[in-house]
Structure 1
Amino acid sequence: MPFITANGIQIYYEERGSGKPLLLIMGITAPCAVWEKHVAYWEQNYRCILFDNRGVGASEKPEGAYTTAEMADDSADLLEALNIPEAAVVGVSMGGAIALQLAIRHPDKVKAMVLMCPWASCDPRGEAIFRHMMHAKAHLRPEQFANFIQVLIFHKSTWDHGSEELSESRKQASVDESPQPLHGLEGQAHACISHNVVSQLKSINIPSLVIGGKEDIFIPEWMAREVAEGIPDCELHLYENAGHAFHWEELDDFNPRVLDWLDTNY
Protein backbone atom coordinates (compact mmCIF):
# COMPACT_ATOMS: atom_id res chain seq x y z
CA MET A 1 0.00 0.00 0.00
CA PRO A 2 1.54 3.35 -1.01
CA PHE A 3 1.91 5.92 1.77
CA ILE A 4 3.56 9.30 1.83
CA THR A 5 4.23 11.80 4.59
CA ALA A 6 2.31 15.01 3.94
CA ASN A 7 1.76 17.88 6.35
CA GLY A 8 3.13 15.79 9.18
CA ILE A 9 0.88 12.72 8.78
CA GLN A 10 0.90 9.50 6.79
CA ILE A 11 -1.41 9.72 3.77
CA TYR A 12 -2.57 6.70 1.79
CA TYR A 13 -2.78 7.42 -1.95
CA GLU A 14 -3.23 5.72 -5.31
CA GLU A 15 -2.30 6.68 -8.86
CA ARG A 16 -4.31 5.58 -11.87
CA GLY A 17 -3.83 6.35 -15.55
CA SER A 18 -1.40 8.69 -17.27
CA GLY A 19 -1.31 12.20 -18.69
CA LYS A 20 -1.81 15.52 -16.92
CA PRO A 21 -2.29 15.10 -13.15
CA LEU A 22 -5.82 15.18 -11.74
CA LEU A 23 -6.16 15.33 -7.94
CA LEU A 24 -9.39 13.85 -6.57
CA ILE A 25 -10.50 14.94 -3.07
CA MET A 26 -13.23 12.87 -1.41
CA GLY A 27 -16.03 13.95 0.93
CA ILE A 28 -16.79 13.38 4.60
CA THR A 29 -16.80 9.77 5.92
CA ALA A 30 -15.61 8.31 2.60
CA PRO A 31 -12.27 6.71 1.60
CA CYS A 32 -10.80 7.28 -1.84
CA ALA A 33 -12.19 3.96 -3.13
CA VAL A 34 -15.54 5.74 -3.45
CA TRP A 35 -14.11 7.48 -6.57
CA GLU A 36 -14.07 4.16 -8.46
CA LYS A 37 -17.04 4.79 -10.78
CA HIS A 38 -15.41 8.05 -11.90
CA VAL A 39 -11.71 7.28 -11.89
CA ALA A 40 -12.31 4.19 -14.04
CA TYR A 41 -13.51 6.64 -16.74
CA TRP A 42 -11.14 9.59 -16.20
CA GLU A 43 -7.97 7.50 -15.96
CA GLN A 44 -8.21 6.91 -19.69
CA ASN A 45 -7.17 10.55 -20.20
CA TYR A 46 -5.53 11.73 -16.96
CA ARG A 47 -3.08 10.69 -14.27
CA CYS A 48 -5.54 10.44 -11.40
CA ILE A 49 -4.22 10.87 -7.86
CA LEU A 50 -6.72 9.79 -5.23
CA PHE A 51 -6.08 9.58 -1.50
CA ASP A 52 -7.72 9.03 1.86
CA ASN A 53 -8.27 12.30 3.71
CA ARG A 54 -6.99 12.55 7.25
CA GLY A 55 -9.45 10.83 9.56
CA VAL A 56 -10.57 8.05 7.24
CA GLY A 57 -9.44 4.97 5.37
CA ALA A 58 -5.78 4.02 5.65
CA SER A 59 -4.49 7.56 6.29
CA GLU A 60 -3.65 8.75 9.78
CA LYS A 61 -6.52 9.82 12.00
CA PRO A 62 -5.29 12.43 14.46
CA GLU A 63 -7.43 13.28 17.46
CA GLY A 64 -9.11 16.69 17.62
CA ALA A 65 -10.90 19.06 15.27
CA TYR A 66 -9.60 19.42 11.71
CA THR A 67 -9.97 22.42 9.38
CA THR A 68 -10.42 22.57 5.63
CA ALA A 69 -7.30 24.78 5.49
CA GLU A 70 -5.30 22.04 7.23
CA MET A 71 -6.71 19.42 4.86
CA ALA A 72 -5.89 21.62 1.86
CA ASP A 73 -2.31 21.73 3.11
CA ASP A 74 -2.41 17.91 3.24
CA SER A 75 -3.34 17.94 -0.45
CA ALA A 76 -0.67 20.49 -1.36
CA ASP A 77 2.03 18.54 0.47
CA LEU A 78 0.90 15.32 -1.22
CA LEU A 79 1.39 16.95 -4.63
CA GLU A 80 4.76 18.30 -3.50
CA ALA A 81 5.90 14.89 -2.27
CA LEU A 82 4.89 13.35 -5.62
CA ASN A 83 6.86 16.05 -7.48
CA ILE A 84 3.70 17.41 -9.10
CA PRO A 85 4.03 21.21 -9.37
CA GLU A 86 0.44 21.78 -10.50
CA ALA A 87 -2.73 19.80 -11.17
CA ALA A 88 -6.41 20.05 -11.94
CA VAL A 89 -8.58 19.26 -8.93
CA VAL A 90 -11.98 17.60 -8.54
CA GLY A 91 -13.49 17.74 -5.06
CA VAL A 92 -16.81 16.36 -3.87
CA SER A 93 -18.77 17.83 -0.92
CA MET A 94 -16.19 18.29 1.87
CA GLY A 95 -13.64 17.65 -0.87
CA GLY A 96 -15.06 20.65 -2.72
CA ALA A 97 -14.58 22.78 0.39
CA ILE A 98 -11.00 21.52 0.66
CA ALA A 99 -10.42 22.25 -3.04
CA LEU A 100 -11.55 25.85 -2.48
CA GLN A 101 -9.01 26.21 0.31
CA LEU A 102 -6.34 24.62 -1.87
CA ALA A 103 -6.99 27.16 -4.64
CA ILE A 104 -6.92 30.02 -2.11
CA ARG A 105 -3.89 28.90 -0.08
CA HIS A 106 -1.83 27.33 -2.89
CA PRO A 107 -2.99 29.05 -6.11
CA ASP A 108 0.15 28.06 -8.00
CA LYS A 109 -0.73 24.38 -7.60
CA VAL A 110 -4.27 24.47 -9.06
CA LYS A 111 -4.75 24.89 -12.81
CA ALA A 112 -8.49 24.12 -13.04
CA MET A 113 -11.12 23.04 -10.54
CA VAL A 114 -14.38 21.06 -10.56
CA LEU A 115 -16.38 21.58 -7.37
CA MET A 116 -19.09 18.99 -6.77
CA CYS A 117 -21.83 20.08 -4.31
CA PRO A 118 -19.48 22.52 -2.51
CA TRP A 119 -20.17 25.22 0.04
CA ALA A 120 -18.38 28.44 0.95
CA SER A 121 -19.85 28.76 4.45
CA CYS A 122 -21.86 26.58 6.80
CA ASP A 123 -25.19 28.00 8.00
CA PRO A 124 -26.95 26.94 11.25
CA ARG A 125 -28.92 24.20 9.47
CA GLY A 126 -25.74 22.82 7.94
CA GLU A 127 -24.01 22.87 11.30
CA ALA A 128 -26.98 21.01 12.83
CA ILE A 129 -26.67 18.29 10.16
CA PHE A 130 -22.95 17.81 10.77
CA ARG A 131 -23.44 17.72 14.54
CA HIS A 132 -26.24 15.20 14.15
CA MET A 133 -23.92 13.16 11.92
CA MET A 134 -21.44 12.99 14.81
CA HIS A 135 -24.18 11.98 17.25
CA ALA A 136 -25.52 9.35 14.85
CA LYS A 137 -22.07 7.87 14.35
CA ALA A 138 -21.69 7.59 18.14
CA HIS A 139 -24.99 5.82 18.74
CA LEU A 140 -25.98 3.85 15.63
CA ARG A 141 -24.79 0.50 14.36
CA PRO A 142 -22.70 0.79 11.15
CA GLU A 143 -25.58 -0.28 8.88
CA GLN A 144 -27.90 2.22 10.60
CA PHE A 145 -25.38 5.02 10.15
CA ALA A 146 -25.01 4.05 6.49
CA ASN A 147 -28.78 4.30 6.14
CA PHE A 148 -28.72 7.80 7.66
CA ILE A 149 -26.09 8.90 5.13
CA GLN A 150 -28.12 7.37 2.29
CA VAL A 151 -31.16 9.38 3.37
CA LEU A 152 -29.06 12.55 3.17
CA ILE A 153 -27.48 12.00 -0.21
CA PHE A 154 -29.82 10.05 -2.49
CA HIS A 155 -32.78 11.45 -4.44
CA LYS A 156 -36.24 9.88 -4.31
CA SER A 157 -35.70 8.28 -7.72
CA THR A 158 -32.80 6.23 -6.34
CA TRP A 159 -34.89 5.05 -3.41
CA ASP A 160 -37.72 4.12 -5.79
CA HIS A 161 -35.59 2.24 -8.31
CA GLY A 162 -32.28 1.39 -6.59
CA SER A 163 -33.35 0.16 -3.17
CA GLU A 164 -31.63 -3.23 -3.60
CA GLU A 165 -28.25 -1.56 -4.22
CA LEU A 166 -28.78 0.69 -1.18
CA SER A 167 -29.63 -2.33 0.93
CA GLU A 168 -26.50 -4.15 -0.22
CA SER A 169 -24.40 -1.10 0.68
CA ARG A 170 -25.83 -1.14 4.21
CA LYS A 171 -24.96 -4.84 4.52
CA GLN A 172 -21.38 -4.08 3.46
CA ALA A 173 -21.17 -1.37 6.13
CA SER A 174 -22.17 -3.92 8.77
CA VAL A 175 -19.15 -6.11 7.96
CA ASP A 176 -16.58 -3.38 7.16
CA GLU A 177 -13.36 -4.44 8.87
CA SER A 178 -11.93 -0.90 9.03
CA PRO A 179 -14.79 1.58 9.53
CA GLN A 180 -14.04 5.26 10.12
CA PRO A 181 -13.53 5.79 13.85
CA LEU A 182 -15.75 8.25 15.66
CA HIS A 183 -12.91 10.71 16.30
CA GLY A 184 -12.05 10.72 12.57
CA LEU A 185 -15.63 11.60 11.65
CA GLU A 186 -15.72 14.24 14.39
CA GLY A 187 -12.50 15.82 13.13
CA GLN A 188 -13.86 16.01 9.58
CA ALA A 189 -17.26 17.31 10.70
CA HIS A 190 -15.64 20.13 12.64
CA ALA A 191 -13.72 21.07 9.47
CA CYS A 192 -17.00 21.23 7.57
CA ILE A 193 -18.69 23.37 10.23
CA SER A 194 -15.84 25.89 10.53
CA HIS A 195 -15.30 26.27 6.77
CA ASN A 196 -15.89 29.86 5.60
CA VAL A 197 -14.23 31.28 2.49
CA VAL A 198 -17.02 33.55 1.22
CA SER A 199 -14.87 36.69 1.24
CA GLN A 200 -11.99 34.91 -0.51
CA LEU A 201 -13.88 33.44 -3.46
CA LYS A 202 -13.26 36.54 -5.58
CA SER A 203 -9.49 35.89 -5.37
CA ILE A 204 -9.76 32.58 -7.23
CA ASN A 205 -8.53 33.14 -10.76
CA ILE A 206 -8.62 29.74 -12.45
CA PRO A 207 -11.17 27.96 -14.66
CA SER A 208 -13.83 26.60 -12.30
CA LEU A 209 -16.97 24.51 -12.63
CA VAL A 210 -19.55 24.07 -9.87
CA ILE A 211 -21.81 21.09 -10.38
CA GLY A 212 -24.58 19.68 -8.21
CA GLY A 213 -28.13 18.40 -7.83
CA LYS A 214 -31.09 20.77 -7.64
CA GLU A 215 -32.80 18.63 -5.00
CA ASP A 216 -29.79 18.14 -2.73
CA ILE A 217 -31.15 18.20 0.84
CA PHE A 218 -27.67 17.90 2.40
CA ILE A 219 -25.82 20.74 0.66
CA PRO A 220 -28.72 22.66 -0.92
CA GLU A 221 -28.75 24.55 -4.20
CA TRP A 222 -28.15 27.96 -2.63
CA MET A 223 -24.79 26.79 -1.29
CA ALA A 224 -23.60 25.71 -4.74
CA ARG A 225 -24.84 28.98 -6.22
CA GLU A 226 -23.03 31.01 -3.54
CA VAL A 227 -19.76 29.40 -4.61
CA ALA A 228 -20.41 29.75 -8.34
CA GLU A 229 -21.46 33.39 -8.03
CA GLY A 230 -18.48 34.24 -5.83
CA ILE A 231 -15.76 32.88 -8.14
CA PRO A 232 -15.13 35.12 -11.18
CA ASP A 233 -16.34 33.56 -14.45
CA CYS A 234 -17.24 30.27 -12.77
CA GLU A 235 -19.50 27.88 -14.69
CA LEU A 236 -22.49 26.23 -13.01
CA HIS A 237 -24.43 23.09 -13.87
CA LEU A 238 -27.24 21.73 -11.71
CA TYR A 239 -28.98 18.44 -12.49
CA GLU A 240 -32.76 18.30 -12.28
CA ASN A 241 -34.25 15.55 -10.11
CA ALA A 242 -30.94 14.71 -8.47
CA GLY A 243 -29.62 14.92 -4.93
CA HIS A 244 -26.23 15.11 -3.23
CA ALA A 245 -25.22 11.88 -4.99
CA PHE A 246 -26.01 13.34 -8.42
CA HIS A 247 -22.63 12.10 -9.68
CA TRP A 248 -23.86 8.51 -9.31
CA GLU A 249 -27.49 9.21 -10.18
CA GLU A 250 -26.41 10.94 -13.42
CA LEU A 251 -23.25 8.92 -13.95
CA ASP A 252 -23.55 8.51 -17.72
CA ASP A 253 -23.74 12.28 -18.19
CA PHE A 254 -21.49 13.34 -15.32
CA ASN A 255 -18.32 11.42 -16.18
CA PRO A 256 -18.03 12.63 -19.81
CA ARG A 257 -19.24 16.13 -18.86
CA VAL A 258 -16.37 16.56 -16.42
CA LEU A 259 -13.89 15.01 -18.85
CA ASP A 260 -15.00 17.32 -21.66
CA TRP A 261 -14.77 20.34 -19.36
CA LEU A 262 -11.26 19.38 -18.25
CA ASP A 263 -10.16 18.80 -21.84
CA THR A 264 -11.32 22.35 -22.69
CA ASN A 265 -10.12 24.18 -19.58
CA TYR A 266 -7.01 22.35 -18.42
Structure 2
Amino acid sequence: MPASRKWGPLLVLNGLAATSADWDPSFIDQLASANEIILLDNRGIGLSTDSKAPFDIAQLADDTGRVIKTLEFKRVSVLGWSLGGFIAQILALDHPALVDKLVLLSTDPRGVDAELASPTVRAQLTDTSGTPHEQARRLLSLLFPGDLAESIYQKFGDIVAAARAQLSPDLIRRQVAAMDAWHRAGAGHRLGTLSAPALVATGTEDIVIPASNALALVNAIPGAWLAQFKGGGHAFMAQYPHPLADLISGFLAL
Protein backbone atom coordinates (compact mmCIF):
# COMPACT_ATOMS: atom_id res chain seq x y z
CA MET A 1 0.00 0.00 0.00
CA PRO A 2 1.33 3.51 -0.76
CA ALA A 3 2.23 5.53 2.31
CA SER A 4 0.77 8.97 2.93
CA ARG A 5 1.07 11.66 5.57
CA LYS A 6 -1.71 13.94 6.72
CA TRP A 7 -1.82 17.10 8.78
CA GLY A 8 -4.54 19.01 10.58
CA PRO A 9 -6.87 21.73 9.25
CA LEU A 10 -5.20 24.62 7.41
CA LEU A 11 -6.87 28.04 7.50
CA VAL A 12 -5.87 30.16 4.49
CA LEU A 13 -5.89 33.99 4.55
CA ASN A 14 -5.59 36.04 1.36
CA GLY A 15 -4.08 39.47 0.76
CA LEU A 16 -5.10 43.01 -0.17
CA ALA A 17 -8.30 43.19 -2.25
CA ALA A 18 -8.23 39.41 -2.73
CA THR A 19 -10.95 36.87 -1.98
CA SER A 20 -10.94 33.15 -1.34
CA ALA A 21 -11.85 32.67 -5.02
CA ASP A 22 -8.62 34.29 -6.20
CA TRP A 23 -6.16 31.57 -5.15
CA ASP A 24 -4.32 29.61 -7.83
CA PRO A 25 -6.43 26.43 -8.15
CA SER A 26 -3.49 24.07 -8.65
CA PHE A 27 -1.81 25.37 -5.48
CA ILE A 28 -4.96 25.07 -3.36
CA ASP A 29 -5.97 21.72 -4.86
CA GLN A 30 -2.62 20.18 -4.01
CA LEU A 31 -2.79 21.48 -0.44
CA ALA A 32 -6.36 20.23 -0.13
CA SER A 33 -5.37 16.75 -1.30
CA ALA A 34 -3.63 16.19 2.04
CA ASN A 35 -6.35 17.39 4.39
CA GLU A 36 -9.04 19.93 5.13
CA ILE A 37 -8.54 23.50 3.87
CA ILE A 38 -10.57 26.47 5.10
CA LEU A 39 -10.48 29.47 2.75
CA LEU A 40 -11.48 32.61 4.62
CA ASP A 41 -12.64 35.93 3.18
CA ASN A 42 -11.50 38.82 5.35
CA ARG A 43 -14.02 41.28 6.74
CA GLY A 44 -15.86 43.22 4.05
CA ILE A 45 -14.72 41.25 1.00
CA GLY A 46 -15.89 38.22 -0.94
CA LEU A 47 -18.58 36.33 0.96
CA SER A 48 -17.95 38.17 4.25
CA THR A 49 -20.22 40.97 5.44
CA ASP A 50 -19.12 44.60 5.51
CA SER A 51 -20.09 47.00 8.29
CA LYS A 52 -18.44 49.87 6.34
CA ALA A 53 -16.49 50.75 9.51
CA PRO A 54 -12.69 51.13 9.71
CA PHE A 55 -10.73 48.19 11.11
CA ASP A 56 -7.19 47.23 12.01
CA ILE A 57 -5.10 44.06 11.75
CA ALA A 58 -5.88 43.03 15.32
CA GLN A 59 -9.61 43.13 14.57
CA LEU A 60 -9.09 40.98 11.48
CA ALA A 61 -7.11 38.53 13.62
CA ASP A 62 -9.94 38.48 16.17
CA ASP A 63 -12.39 37.77 13.33
CA THR A 64 -10.23 34.82 12.31
CA GLY A 65 -10.11 33.54 15.87
CA ARG A 66 -13.90 33.63 16.06
CA VAL A 67 -14.15 31.63 12.84
CA ILE A 68 -11.84 28.95 14.23
CA LYS A 69 -13.96 28.69 17.39
CA THR A 70 -17.23 28.72 15.46
CA LEU A 71 -15.99 25.83 13.33
CA GLU A 72 -15.15 24.06 16.61
CA PHE A 73 -11.52 23.43 15.79
CA LYS A 74 -9.29 23.20 18.82
CA ARG A 75 -6.20 24.30 16.88
CA VAL A 76 -5.43 24.94 13.23
CA SER A 77 -2.40 25.75 11.15
CA VAL A 78 -2.65 29.13 9.44
CA LEU A 79 -1.33 30.21 6.04
CA GLY A 80 -1.29 33.93 5.34
CA TRP A 81 -0.22 35.67 2.13
CA SER A 82 0.72 39.36 2.17
CA LEU A 83 -1.97 41.13 4.26
CA GLY A 84 -3.06 37.64 5.32
CA GLY A 85 0.42 37.15 6.75
CA PHE A 86 -0.02 40.22 8.96
CA ILE A 87 -3.28 38.74 10.27
CA ALA A 88 -1.69 35.33 10.83
CA GLN A 89 1.12 36.84 12.91
CA ILE A 90 -1.24 38.73 15.21
CA LEU A 91 -3.56 35.73 15.48
CA ALA A 92 -0.64 33.59 16.65
CA LEU A 93 0.49 36.28 19.11
CA ASP A 94 -2.92 37.20 20.54
CA HIS A 95 -4.56 33.76 20.34
CA PRO A 96 -1.66 31.29 20.63
CA ALA A 97 -3.87 28.45 21.85
CA LEU A 98 -5.65 28.43 18.47
CA VAL A 99 -2.57 28.20 16.23
CA ASP A 100 -0.60 25.03 15.60
CA LYS A 101 1.80 26.15 12.84
CA LEU A 102 2.30 29.27 10.73
CA VAL A 103 3.00 29.57 7.01
CA LEU A 104 3.87 33.15 6.05
CA LEU A 105 4.06 33.97 2.33
CA SER A 106 5.20 37.29 0.81
CA THR A 107 4.70 39.18 4.05
CA ASP A 108 6.63 41.34 6.49
CA PRO A 109 7.20 42.00 10.20
CA ARG A 110 5.31 44.77 11.90
CA GLY A 111 6.62 48.33 12.17
CA VAL A 112 10.10 49.65 11.53
CA ASP A 113 11.54 46.18 10.88
CA ALA A 114 9.72 46.04 7.53
CA GLU A 115 11.23 47.15 4.23
CA LEU A 116 8.45 48.86 2.30
CA ALA A 117 7.83 48.88 -1.43
CA SER A 118 8.91 51.93 -3.40
CA PRO A 119 6.53 54.91 -3.41
CA THR A 120 5.73 54.18 -7.07
CA VAL A 121 4.75 50.58 -6.35
CA ARG A 122 2.71 51.58 -3.31
CA ALA A 123 0.82 54.18 -5.37
CA GLN A 124 0.07 51.62 -8.08
CA LEU A 125 -1.06 49.06 -5.51
CA THR A 126 -3.74 51.37 -4.16
CA ASP A 127 -4.76 52.91 -7.50
CA THR A 128 -8.37 52.04 -8.33
CA SER A 129 -8.62 54.36 -11.34
CA GLY A 130 -9.28 53.23 -14.89
CA THR A 131 -11.33 50.43 -16.36
CA PRO A 132 -11.37 46.97 -14.75
CA HIS A 133 -9.02 45.74 -17.50
CA GLU A 134 -6.61 48.62 -16.86
CA GLN A 135 -6.71 47.81 -13.16
CA ALA A 136 -6.09 44.13 -13.91
CA ARG A 137 -3.04 44.85 -16.05
CA ARG A 138 -1.65 47.21 -13.41
CA LEU A 139 -2.21 44.66 -10.64
CA LEU A 140 -0.59 41.80 -12.53
CA SER A 141 2.47 43.97 -13.26
CA LEU A 142 2.93 44.22 -9.49
CA LEU A 143 2.32 40.56 -8.72
CA PHE A 144 4.57 38.99 -11.37
CA PRO A 145 7.98 39.92 -12.81
CA GLY A 146 8.57 41.27 -16.30
CA ASP A 147 7.12 39.55 -19.34
CA LEU A 148 5.35 36.97 -17.18
CA ALA A 149 2.88 39.62 -16.01
CA GLU A 150 1.85 40.43 -19.58
CA SER A 151 1.62 36.74 -20.47
CA ILE A 152 -0.72 36.13 -17.53
CA TYR A 153 -2.77 39.18 -18.49
CA GLN A 154 -3.23 37.83 -22.01
CA LYS A 155 -4.46 34.50 -20.62
CA PHE A 156 -6.42 35.60 -17.57
CA GLY A 157 -6.99 39.34 -17.97
CA ASP A 158 -10.75 38.98 -18.42
CA ILE A 159 -11.05 36.94 -15.22
CA VAL A 160 -8.94 39.36 -13.19
CA ALA A 161 -10.84 42.34 -14.63
CA ALA A 162 -14.17 40.77 -13.69
CA ALA A 163 -12.92 40.28 -10.13
CA ARG A 164 -11.68 43.88 -9.95
CA ALA A 165 -15.07 45.15 -11.12
CA GLN A 166 -16.69 43.55 -8.06
CA LEU A 167 -14.38 45.27 -5.55
CA SER A 168 -15.38 48.25 -3.45
CA PRO A 169 -12.80 51.07 -3.64
CA ASP A 170 -13.85 52.06 -0.11
CA LEU A 171 -13.04 48.57 1.20
CA ILE A 172 -9.63 48.69 -0.48
CA ARG A 173 -8.96 52.07 1.17
CA ARG A 174 -9.84 50.60 4.59
CA GLN A 175 -7.59 47.60 4.01
CA VAL A 176 -4.75 49.90 2.98
CA ALA A 177 -5.33 52.05 6.09
CA ALA A 178 -5.03 48.92 8.25
CA MET A 179 -1.79 47.99 6.48
CA ASP A 180 -0.40 51.50 6.88
CA ALA A 181 -1.15 51.38 10.61
CA TRP A 182 0.63 48.01 10.77
CA HIS A 183 3.75 49.54 9.27
CA ARG A 184 3.63 52.55 11.62
CA ALA A 185 3.48 50.30 14.69
CA GLY A 186 6.52 49.36 16.73
CA ALA A 187 5.62 45.91 18.01
CA GLY A 188 7.63 43.71 15.67
CA HIS A 189 9.75 42.58 18.63
CA ARG A 190 6.78 40.52 19.88
CA LEU A 191 7.60 37.95 17.22
CA GLY A 192 10.30 36.66 19.54
CA THR A 193 7.57 35.33 21.81
CA LEU A 194 5.89 33.22 19.13
CA SER A 195 5.61 29.58 20.12
CA ALA A 196 4.12 28.26 16.87
CA PRO A 197 6.61 26.74 14.39
CA ALA A 198 6.79 28.96 11.30
CA LEU A 199 7.66 28.57 7.63
CA VAL A 200 8.45 31.85 5.86
CA ALA A 201 8.58 31.85 2.04
CA THR A 202 9.10 34.58 -0.53
CA GLY A 203 9.82 35.22 -4.19
CA THR A 204 13.21 36.82 -4.79
CA GLU A 205 11.74 39.35 -7.24
CA ASP A 206 8.87 40.56 -5.05
CA ILE A 207 8.48 44.33 -5.50
CA VAL A 208 5.40 44.68 -3.28
CA ILE A 209 6.88 43.20 -0.09
CA PRO A 210 10.61 42.88 -0.80
CA ALA A 211 12.26 39.53 -0.11
CA SER A 212 14.43 41.04 2.64
CA ASN A 213 11.34 40.99 4.85
CA ALA A 214 11.34 37.19 4.86
CA LEU A 215 14.83 37.19 6.36
CA ALA A 216 13.73 39.76 8.95
CA LEU A 217 10.83 37.50 9.93
CA VAL A 218 13.06 34.43 10.19
CA ASN A 219 15.53 36.34 12.34
CA ALA A 220 12.69 37.45 14.63
CA ILE A 221 10.71 34.19 14.96
CA PRO A 222 12.45 31.47 16.99
CA GLY A 223 13.30 28.44 14.86
CA ALA A 224 11.53 29.68 11.72
CA TRP A 225 12.23 28.09 8.34
CA LEU A 226 13.10 30.24 5.30
CA ALA A 227 12.43 29.39 1.64
CA GLN A 228 13.20 31.71 -1.27
CA PHE A 229 11.86 31.00 -4.75
CA LYS A 230 14.22 32.34 -7.41
CA GLY A 231 12.54 34.69 -9.85
CA GLY A 232 9.29 34.65 -7.92
CA GLY A 233 7.16 37.76 -7.66
CA HIS A 234 4.70 38.77 -4.96
CA ALA A 235 2.26 36.06 -6.12
CA PHE A 236 5.00 33.44 -6.44
CA MET A 237 2.61 30.68 -5.32
CA ALA A 238 1.04 30.95 -8.80
CA GLN A 239 4.49 30.56 -10.40
CA TYR A 240 5.56 27.59 -8.26
CA PRO A 241 2.29 26.00 -7.10
CA HIS A 242 3.49 22.42 -6.83
CA PRO A 243 6.95 22.94 -5.27
CA LEU A 244 5.49 25.39 -2.76
CA ALA A 245 2.57 23.11 -1.89
CA ASP A 246 5.01 20.20 -1.42
CA LEU A 247 7.16 22.33 0.88
CA ILE A 248 4.18 23.44 2.95
CA SER A 249 2.79 19.92 3.20
CA GLY A 250 6.14 18.60 4.36
CA PHE A 251 6.44 21.33 6.97
CA LEU A 252 2.93 20.79 8.30
CA ALA A 253 3.38 17.01 8.43
CA LEU A 254 6.36 17.20 10.81
With structure 2 as the length reference, what TM-score do the two structures score? 0.87
Q: Which one of 244, 247, 254 corresponds to residue 237 of structure 2?
A: 247
Cα deviation 1:91-132 (Å, max 9, x = unaligned): 111111110010011001001011001111366844944455
Cα deviation 1:44-74 (Å, max 9, x = unaligned): 2221111211121121123243211111111
1:177 shift after superposition:
9.0
Change (3 A) 1:126 1:60: farther
Please give the alpha-carbon distance, in whole angstroms, between the structure 2 residues aligned to 1:59 and 1:169: 25
**Which residue of structure 1 aligns with residue 3 of structure 2?**
none
Structure 1 portions without partners, runs of 5+: 1-17
Q: How does 1:109-120 map to 2 (within 5 A)?
A: 109-120=98-109
Please give the alpha-carbon distance, in whole angstroms, between the structure 2 residues aligned to 1:167 and 1:61: 32
1:228 shift after superposition:
1.3
Q: How many residues align?
A: 242
Secondary structure in 1 matching 2:51: coil
Change (3 A) 1:263 1:178: same
Please give the alpha-carbon distance, in whole angstroms, between the structure 1 residues aligned to 2:96 and 2:50: 27
Secondary structure in 2 matching 1:236: strand
Q: Which one of 33, 43, 51 corresponds to residue 40 of structure 2?
A: 51
Q: How does 1:60-71 map to 2 (within 5 A)?
A: 60-71=49-60
**Which residue of structure 1 aligns with residue 81 of structure 2?**
92
Structure 2 portions without partners, runs of 5+: 1-5
**Which residue of structure 1 aligns with residue 19 of structure 2?**
31
Amino acid at match of 2:125: M
- Off by >6 Å, runs of 4+ in structure 1: none
Which of the pair has the greater relative contact order for Cα pairs under 8 Å at 6+ separation?
2
Question: Are residues 1:180 and 2:167 paired?
Answer: yes
Contact between 1:210 and 1:224, CA under 8 Å: does it hold in 2?
A: yes
Structure that is richer in strand per residue: 1
Contact between 2:17 and 2:45, CA under 8 Å: does it hold in 1?
A: yes
**CA RMSD of superposed structures (Å):** 2.2
Change (3 A) 1:77 1:170: same
Q: How does 1:1-266 map to 2 (within 5 A)?
A: 20-35=8-23, 36-121=25-110, 125-126=116-117, 128=119, 129-130=121-122, 132-134=124-126, 136-137=127-128, 139-156=129-146, 158-159=148-149, 163=151, 165-176=152-163, 179-195=166-182, 196=185, 197-264=187-254
